[in-house]
Structure formats: structure tokens, C-alpha cells
Amino acid sequence: MMKKALQIAVLASLLTSFSAFAHHPAEDIIDEDTWEMIDQNMVDADSPHLDLDFTAM
């Protein structure tokens, strides 16, 4: 019983973790000018999100 529960938990965690690596759905939809405006707003607000680095994912 416990082994089966562990297998289900591992399978569920594998299936849900793939969404973290998925292509962002808005990436190809939103205009480049909009992304630049968002970036500028983050700079103006001195957002801590500017320091995030996702290249190692």
C-alpha cells in the first residue's frame, strides 16, 4: 500500500514539474514593444525581479 502511494506521488510530481519548463504562452503573442514597456516599468520600480536569472534552469 505504501509503495503504491509513493509511486503515485513520484508520478504526480514528475507530471506537474514539466510545467515549470514549459514555453510561456504569451511569449509569441505579446508585441515586443509591450515587453520593453514591462521591462522599463520594472526598472522604474526598482523591482527585485530584475536580478532573477533563469539561464541555469
What are the E-state strand segments in 1-57? none
Q: Evaluate if pTM is beyond 0.85.
A: no
15-57 residue pLDDT tens: 776 666 666 666 677 788 988 998 899 899 988 888 888 776 6
42: Cβ contacts below 8 Å, ≥ 6 apart: 49, 50
Three-state SS across the chain?
Answer: CHHHHHHHHHHHHHHHHHHHHCCCCCCCCCCHHHHHHHHHHHHHCCCHHHHCCCCCC
5-21 residue pLDDT tens: 989 988 888 777 666 66
CA distances to 5, 37, 51 from 41, in Å: 46, 6, 14
